[in-house]
Amino acid sequence: MSKLIRNHDFLSNRGGKLFVENVSAEKLAAKFGTPVYAYSELRIRENARRVKSALAFTPEISRGLIRSELFYAVKANNNLSILSILRNENLGADAAGPAEIELAQRAGFPKNKILYSGVFHSDEELKFGLKSGVAVNVDSLSAAKRLLKFGKPPLFSMRVNPGITGGKIRGLIFAGSDAKFGESVANVLQGYRLAKKAGVKKLGLHMMTGSCILDENYFAAAAEKLLAIAGAIRKKIGIKFEFIDIGGGLGIPYRLNEKILDVEKAVKLTVKVFAAGVAKFDLGNPKLLLEPGRFLVGDAGVLLTRIQTIKPKTPRQARGKAFVGVDAGMQTLLRPALYGAWHEILFAGNLNAKAVKKVSIVGPICENTDQLARDRLLPKLAEGDLLAILDTGAYGFGMSSNYNTRARPAEVLVSGGKAEIIREREGLKEIIGRQRVPNRLKK
Ligand SMILES: Cc1ncc(COP(=O)(O)O)c(C=O)c1O
């Protein structure tokens, strides 16, 4: 009998064993080693289709009153195979830097479906953006001036800080007075004046105000604010935008009992407000752009990790807690250490075992923030057991590092009963091979 795990159709409990699509977690771990990220191709496609059809079925888009396009935020997971899946689903790519532009091109995204949305750009990055012939979105007046001095992109866009955010985790708030992102309305206006003067023909307007937002009403409220800004710009300097990009931010529930975002409702409300704003401010026919990352790939990934060392609680000594040491750590999955993020953890070898004991799941890194879960109620575990850390498809591998001179993990794509390696685990060559020692130090 197979039992699905809430909100994760591609994960199932088959006689107590965890399956990712039709491959058991144990088989994946045995074949590819641990720690390993496993992604469900089915789930990634489902997520993309869900947002695409949510857009397509709104009254305004289905009747052709509003145009829209979905871009994938490459930073969420830059694996080329995942990019290829999303290109195949006809999405565009939102690239944060030159290497992400390069990756998007290698994955086959055409130039006119790549938006380069960096922040705090260097001159070299701006020149790379121009040379690659993609649309360039800058987040400062400084970058706008430098970009326009170097050349004319086919489409110039600016990221505004509209002063509104729906992010709940401090590190995921990207707008408002404490955020380093975007520009003031006055400076954005100045940027468009310069672009107009430089003869740029196509213009866009962009914001990205927060991540992992589960409130359906938020996206419409933020869009309303952005359209009012577009209206003010239009009134002052008479420009029309090719696109108005409301950013990403569609959230996923990281706790099994957390609210699930009703993406159809969020999109419907947003498109309605967008259409009303376009009419109210006489904005022409700008395309509505959305650039989600987390929603498309976040819940499609599972990090498999094996227990190496258990330190039971020793009440009469200093350690008043039980620690379960696994082979993944903050070098593999940074989110818990970075923002205290929560990820559900399953005992992949026996999903039916009762949770009996609070333990902390920790990694092998010499930092006490290297705790993937603190005081988590879990079944009785033993060294050698396999754990699955859920919802690690976004900002998992991408934030991994070589800290403590450790290898970044492997990545595997599961599709039905097939599991294929899509990034090999690093070896010594990747971890230490780029170091150079001056001859004088070799003596
Ligand atoms: C410019 C930009 N667009 C899109 C995203 C994707 O955000 P999310 O994963 O919340 O959808 C981000 C995330 O940081 C971003 O910085």
Domains of the chain and CATH, by start: 2-40+298-432 (2.40.37.10), 66-292 (3.20.20.10)
**Amino acid sitting at position 200:** V
Please indicate whether residue 73, judged by its CB atom, sits closer than 6 Å to ligand 1.
yes
Give the pLDDT of the chain (443 residues) as one tens digit per residue: 577 787 888 999 999 999 999 999 999 999 999 999 999 999 999 999 999 999 999 999 999 999 999 999 999 999 999 999 999 999 999 999 999 999 999 999 999 999 999 999 999 999 999 999 999 999 999 999 999 999 999 999 999 999 888 877 888 888 888 889 999 999 999 999 999 999 999 999 999 999 999 999 999 999 999 999 999 999 999 999 999 999 999 999 999 889 999 999 999 999 999 999 999 999 999 999 999 999 999 999 999 999 999 999 887 667 778 999 999 999 999 999 999 999 999 999 999 999 999 999 999 999 999 999 999 999 999 999 999 999 999 999 999 999 999 999 999 999 999 999 999 999 999 999 999 999 999 99
CA 288 – CA 269 distance, rounded (Å): 13
Helix (H, G, I), strand (E, B) or coil at 385: coil
Residues contacting residue 247 through CB under 8 Å, at least 6 positions apart: 174, 206, 207, 208, 209, 290, 291
The pLDDT value recorded for residue 5 is: 80
Pocket test for ligand 1, best of 117, 208, 245, 261 (most atoms within 8 A of CB): 208
This prediction's pTM: 0.97
CA-closest residue to ligand 1 atom 14: 211
Residues near 162 by Cβ (< 8 Å), separated by ≥ 6? 175, 182, 207, 209, 222, 225, 226, 229
pLDDT of residue 178: 85
- Say what the pLDDT of residue 230 is: 98
Q: Give yes or no for residue 249 CB within 6 A of ligand 1.
A: yes
Catalytic residues: 366
Q: How many CB atoms lie within 10 A of CB 440?
A: 6
Q: What is the pLDDT of residue 327?
A: 98
CA–CA distances in Å: residue 337 to residues 219, 265, 400: 28, 33, 12
Which atom belonging to ligand 1 lies closest to the Cα atom of 211?
A: 10
pLDDT at residue 138, as a whole number: 98
Cα separation, 25 vs 23, whole angstroms: 6
Nearest atom, ligand 1, residue 295 CA: 11
**Residue ranges with strand state E in 79-229:** 92-95, 114-117, 135-138, 156-159, 203-206
Q: How many CA atoms lie within 13 A of 170 on its CB side?
A: 4
Query: Residue 166 Cα, ligand 1 centroid: separation in angstroms?
Result: 13
Q: What pLDDT is attached to residue 75?
A: 98
Q: What is the pLDDT of residue 1?
A: 58
